[in-house]
């Protein structure tokens, strides 16, 4: 098996081979997910919720992200590694954004992810022109949950759907090598994916994207409390974590997860 690369991911998008992604925060899981054939490991700032027990991702620091990216990179061999730029690490200037992105790359990330469209295009251009691949997270963006008025599906009306299409185009023109859509109507995500020259990963965005991501602890059913509609418990019927991860990989690759009517909007 060869290490995952950006051209290989682009090829998978072009040929319709589904891309598998899961969040990962430590070396033990990095090794396990790697062995199970997960294509992309995301050190998500969801670690604020999952590992730190916080109510949002906003308090997560760049140092936290660097630490967990380092841990994941130590356990990994093949997967593509994406690390989230946390809240307040890329907003003030593109120079600051570069410094934050570079810190994540030094810790082992291959690509960084940031949230939002429009104003971020300039930042995406600055970072990607200087050699760090960027993924742009659109649709529902957890770092700005307060401005969005809560955990809501985005792109439901015509105006916001049009804005989403425009933002994805702007992101790609600025150099984004990947897009990620969270909680948008399945039909809209499928339309954006079909028009996109770069892979589009979805979470709560239906089966029509180039690939899928879930929060690891959600799909292993160890997150306390109520889970969002788009989560599936992959531990059900399994006797090991390895088998659950393999089940996720198999279902995403086969296009049997997610099911739009059950997990989509």
Active site residues: 182
Identify which of residues 95 and 151 has a Cβ nearer to ligand KIV in the complex: 151
Q: Which of residues 66-105 bind Na ion (CB under 5 A)?
A: 84
Identify which of residues 32 and 178 has a Cβ nearer to ligand KIV in the complex: 178
Separation CA 244–CA 236 (nearest Å)? 8
Identify which of residues 223 and 260 has a Cβ nearer to Na ion in the complex: 223
Residue whose tokens read 């251009």: 125
Let me know how long the chain is.
265
133 lies in the site for Na ion, by CB under 5 A:
no
The answer to whether the CB of 221 falls within 8 A of the CB of 29 is no
Size of the site for Na ion (CB under 5 A): 3
Stretch that binds Na ion, among 24-32, 37-45, 201-209, 222-230 (CB under 5 A): 37-45
Taking 3-state DSSP, the helix, strand and coil percentages for the chain, each rounded to the nearest 5, stand at 45, 15, 40
Q: Cβ of residue 196: shortest distance to Na ion, in angstroms?
A: 20
- CA of 63: how far to CAs of 5, 141, 195, in Å? 26, 21, 37
Identify which of residues 38 and 162 has a Cβ nearer to ligand KIV in the complex: 38
185 lies in the site for Na ion, by CB under 5 A:
no
Q: Cβ of residue 138: shortest distance to ligand KIV, in angstroms?
A: 11
Q: Cβ of residue 9: shortest distance to Na ion, in angstroms?
A: 19
- CA of 136: how far to CAs of 52, 74, 85, 175, 181, in Å? 24, 25, 10, 10, 9
Q: Which two tokens stand for residue 11?
A: 């090829």
Helices in the chain by DSSP H: which ranges? 6-15, 27-35, 47-50, 62-75, 94-106, 120-129, 145-148, 158-173, 186-195, 216-219, 241-254, 260-263
Q: Is 80 exposed, middle or buried (0-12, 13-18, 19+ CB in 10 A)?
A: buried
- Residues binding ligand KIV (CB under 6 A): 23, 42, 44-46, 84, 137, 180, 182, 203, 213, 215
Q: Cβ of residue 199: shortest distance to ligand KIV, in angstroms?
A: 14
178 binds, among Na ion, ligand KIV, none (CB under 5 to 8 A by kind): none
44 lies in the site for Na ion, by CB under 5 A:
yes
The answer to whether the CB of 173 falls within 8 A of the CB of 198 is no
Separation CA 76–CA 83 (nearest Å)? 14
Q: Cβ of residue 70: shortest distance to ligand KIV, in angstroms?
A: 17
Identify which of residues 34 and 182 has a Cβ nearer to ligand KIV in the complex: 182
Buried-exposed string 197-206: b where 16+ CB fall within 10 A, e elsewhere: ebbbbbbbbb
48 lies in the site for Na ion, by CB under 5 A:
no
Q: Cβ of residue 49: shortest distance to ligand KIV, in angstroms?
A: 8
Identify which of residues 4 and 138 has a Cβ nearer to ligand KIV in the complex: 138
203 binds, among Na ion, ligand KIV, none (CB under 5 to 8 A by kind): ligand KIV
Single out the residue of 26, 34, 45, 182 in contact with Na ion (rule: CB under 5 A). Answer: 45
Residues engaged in binding Na ion (CB under 5 A): 44-45, 84
């Amino acid at each position: 098996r060869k290490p995952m690369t950006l051209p290989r991911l682009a090829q998978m998008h072009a040929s319709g081979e589904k891309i598998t992604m899961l969040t990962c925060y430590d070396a033990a899981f990095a090794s396990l997910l790697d062995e199970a054939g997960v294509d992309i490991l995301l050190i998500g700032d969801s670690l604020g919720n999952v590992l730190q027990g916080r109510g949002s991702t906003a308090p997560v620091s760049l140092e936290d992200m660097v630490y967990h990216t380092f841990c994941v990179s130590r356990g990994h061999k093949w997967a593509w590694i994406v690390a989230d730029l946390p809240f307040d690490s890329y907003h003030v200037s593109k120079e600051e954004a570069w410094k934050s992105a570079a810190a994540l790359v030094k810790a082992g990330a291959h690509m960084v992810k940031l949230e939002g469209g429009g104003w971020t295009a300039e930042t995406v251009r600055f970072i990607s022109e200087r050699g760090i691949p960027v993924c742009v997270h659109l649709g529902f963006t957890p770092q700005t949950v307060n401005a969005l008025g809560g955990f809501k599906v985005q792109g439901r009306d015509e105006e916001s759907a049009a804005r989403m299409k425009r933002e994805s185009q702007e992101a790609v023109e600025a150099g984004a090598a990947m897009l990620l859509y969270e909680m948008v109507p399945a039909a809209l995500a499928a339309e954006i994916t079909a028009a996109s020259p770069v892979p589009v990963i979805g979470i709560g965005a239906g089966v029509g994207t180039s690939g899928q991501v879930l929060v690891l602890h959600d799909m292993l059913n160890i997150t306390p409390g109520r889970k969002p509609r788009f989560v599936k418990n992959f531990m059900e019927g399994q006797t090991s974590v390895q088998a659950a991860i393999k089940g996720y990989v198999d279902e995403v690759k086969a296009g049997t997860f997610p099911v739009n009517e059950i997990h989509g909007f």
